[in-house]
Structures are given as structure tokens and as C-alpha cells.
Amino acid sequence: MRPSSKTQTDGSVGRRVAGGAATVVLGLTMALAGGTAVPAVAADSAGLSGVVLGVGADETQRIVSWYSTEDTAQQLQVAPTAALVAGEFPAGAATFAATGGANITSSGGYNRHATVTGLKENTAYSYRVGSEGNWSPVHTFKTRDFEGDYDFLFLGDPQIGSSGNAQKDGAGWADTLKVATEANPDAELLVSGGDHVESANNEEQWTSFLAPEQLRQVPLAATIGNHDVGGKAYEQHHFTPNTDKSDAYYDKDAATRSGGDYWFIHKDVLFIDINSNAQSDTKDAQHVGYITDV
């Protein structure tokens, strides 16, 4: 099984995957490109922004990442949508403690993430992040059967900001996700081919990339592209499961760049995501070793 080789955002493709011993290895190899950082983060709630639903280690998990302006204790709160009353979460809603750290100076603020565990199949869930008195808007997602065939959408190179107009690019990206998900309403994952933004640490571009609500409804398996690798914003926005952040999986400098290799399983299909921007005889051997070990 393999994802489509077509990577333009206006040609996103759903793939049916047979349950069984299938493996998908994702990575993007291109020349590194730089960019100028513009610190600008649009708030979803007071001090909270950039909420994105990511994949977990398997179909019973999801990882949610977000930004906050304050270094405070925060949570991810989740409940079956059917349990909400007039939009209010029940007293027994599950809460998961968030962790994270300070962002780089050009991003400002802090990054947070939390992992939802124990999800049931064929269930609609509602969730929010933050803390009492300062919650984000409520978002929803739905799990499907935990066995059998499934569809996912493979998308690549939204590269917000590449035209010189991040808002215009963001509008095209939002339209792409709208059309793709409406045409494939049962798609269970959004699998990224990388190059989410033009300039790695440009938060205006990241804000436009993360704006579509579909990124809070369908779990995103983010792949790092060459335009994403040149700073820490990619790692700040996307916390991934089973991630090895050893120096070998970074391009040049782990202290200032994003990287790492990670893996997850969805319905008996193993996805392995590598940072193929980190290339050399030694690094390539490390990637091969990682894949072999997984």
C-alpha cells in the first residue's frame, strides 16, 4: 500500500487501505529554504490559539496541540457529544493534563499538548482546551470502526505564504480541505506530505495553515517538509506519538530546527514518518535503523 504520489493541495486523494500488514513510510526530501519570522498568532479564546487535532499512537488515541500566551496549568477536556447538555460539558467529562514549554522568541508564548486515551469506536466526541474560566471553543471529532478498510486523504505542499500573500494562500488551503472532506466524508485521517508553510518560523503563515476547522475534526498526521524544518515552530504546533528526537534525525542543529522520526498504527496499518531533510550516510543509516526497529 502506498499514498498517492500527487502532492498538490488541489489534488488531494483518498486511499482505501486494507486492514492487515501494511506499512506507509512518509518523508520529504528537498533543498532547505529559509524565511523571515513574523510573530502573529490569532486567538481562538483568551490567550489560546492554534488548536490542532493530531493522531495518537493508535485509533483509541488523539493528541491535541495548541498555543497559549500564559505559562499556566492547562487541560484537555473530552466527553461524548451526546453527553453534553445545552453545549455544557458533564461533570464526569474526562480531563487530560497538558504539558509543553516556552516557544522560541519569534513565536512568543507557550506550546501545549495533551493525549486523549481510551476512545471508543463509532462515537462522536466534543473537546476543548484551557482551564476553568478560559476554555477554547468546543470542537468535535468522530471515531469509526476500529477494524476493517478505511480511507484517508493525502495532502501536500499547502506552503502558506509561498505566493507572498499568506491570507490568500490560506483561503485556498481552506477551500481545498472543505472540498476534499465534503467529497470524502468518511476519510479517517489527513496525512500530510509536508511544507505546511513557506517560512519555518512565520507564525502568520502557521495561523493561516491552522485556520480550517477540519484540522480540529479529522486527525492530522503531520510530515515535516524542507520549508518546515528550519525552525522550531513545526515541533511547537505538532506533538507526535512515538517520536525519536535524537540528533541523527535533525538537519544540522536540533536546538534551532525541527525534526524527529515517529510512528503510529491505525487499524493494523503501520505509518512511519521520517524527517528525510536530515541526510548523510550516517543519518540515512540511522533512519533505516529506526524503521527496522519499529
pLDDT for res 43:
43
- Structural domains counted in the chain: 1
Three-state secondary structure call for residue 173: helix
Which cell numbers in the block locate residue 63? 493528541
C-alpha distances out from residue 124 to 94, 139, 282, Å = 14, 11, 45
pLDDT for res 26:
76
Helix H, strand E, coil C: the string for 212-250 is: CHHHHCCCEECCCCCCCCCCCHHHHHCCCCCCECCHHHE
Examine residue 105 and state whether it is found in any structural domain, yes or no. yes
pLDDT for res 24:
76
Q: How do the pLDDT tens digits run along the chain, 294 residues long?
A: 333 333 333 333 333 333 344 677 777 433 323 333 333 333 456 799 999 999 999 999 999 999 999 999 999 999 999 999 999 999 989 999 999 999 999 999 999 999 999 999 999 999 999 999 999 999 999 999 999 999 999 999 999 999 999 999 999 999 999 999 999 999 999 999 999 999 999 999 999 999 999 999 999 999 999 999 999 999 999 999 999 999 999 988 899 999 999 999 999 999 999 999 999 999 999 999 999 999
Examine residue 269 and state whether it is found in any structural domain, yes or no. yes
Examine residue 140 and state whether it is found in any structural domain, yes or no. yes
Examine residue 175 and state whether it is found in any structural domain, yes or no. yes
pLDDT for res 257:
95
Examine residue 242 and state whether it is found in any structural domain, yes or no. yes
pLDDT for res 193:
95
DSSP string across 34-100? ----------SBTTEEEEEEEE-SSTT-EEEEEEESS----EEEEEEGGG-BTTBPPTT-EEEE-EE
Q: What angle do CA 231, 261, 96 make, to 5 degrees?
A: 85
Examine residue 233 and state whether it is found in any structural domain, yes or no. yes
Examine residue 2 and state whether it is found in any structural domain, yes or no. no
pLDDT for res 240:
98
| Long-range contacts of the stretch 256-260 (C-beta < 8 A, 24+) | 256/231, 256/232, 257/200, 257/229, 257/230, 257/231, 257/232, 258/200, 258/224, 258/228, 258/229, 258/230, 258/231, 258/232, 258/233, 258/234, 259/224, 259/229, 259/235, 260/224, 260/235
Domain that holds residue 271: 9-293
pLDDT for res 18:
37
Examine residue 247 and state whether it is found in any structural domain, yes or no. yes
pTM of the model: 0.87
